[in-house]
A = this chain, B = another copy of it.
Amino acid sequence: MQQHGEDAAPLAPTLAGTLTDEGHVCSARIYYADTDFSGFVYHARYLEFFERGRSDCLRLSGIGHIPLAEGAFGEPLVWVVRRMEIDFLAPARIDDIIMISTRTVSISGARIEMKQVITRDGMPLVTACVEAVLVTPAGRPRRLPKDWAGLLMPKAA
């Protein structure tokens, strides 16, 4: 299942970040669009960076949004976020380069729980616990395939 835009890959070797023993890590830049008039990043925009981390962690683990939505796992499926606990520890600013780390904590039933942290120069800026659920387009939850735990749970001892 080839993805649109793969030709651009040579230009973007790390566009999707990297899988690690712990989970996944990628980086991103802060642009005008991410900031607000306080001079800092608007708090809701961190959730978009967290989404990039989760999406790329899943993609590199072989679970892309397009195959999911097109029924590769039996019927069309999309992710919905069910719960987030977010601590905003320190602000990012325009032009900053941030790192987004994602680690799967548990998988059970239709639900996946991930811990994420955004850092800058190693300093944690925002942490999040995220619960997401796999649902049909009508919103009905669907059990995650059994082998996803093996794909997504950390390999580190």
Contact = CB atoms under 8 A, between A and B. Distances in A.
Q: How many copies does the complex hold?
A: 4
Interface stretch (A59-67, A106-114, A144-152): A59-67
Q: Among A11, A12, A44, find the residue whose CB has the most chain B CB atoms closer than 10 A.
A: A44
Interface residues of A, number: 70
Q: Is the interface of A mostly helix, strand, loop or mixed?
A: mixed
Contacts of A7: 121-122
A133 B38 CA distance: 13
B5 A31 contact: no
Given A14-B13, A37-B94, A8 B32 contact: no
Contacts of A65: 32, 94-95
Nearest to A85: B85
Nearest to A64: B95
Given A14-B13, A27-B15, A47-B43, A5 B97 contact: yes
A12 B97 contact: yes
B55 A31 contact: yes
Interface of A: 3-9, 11-18, 25-29, 31-33, 35-40, 42-45, 47-48, 51-52, 55-56, 59, 64-66, 69, 78-88, 90-99, 120-122, 137, 139
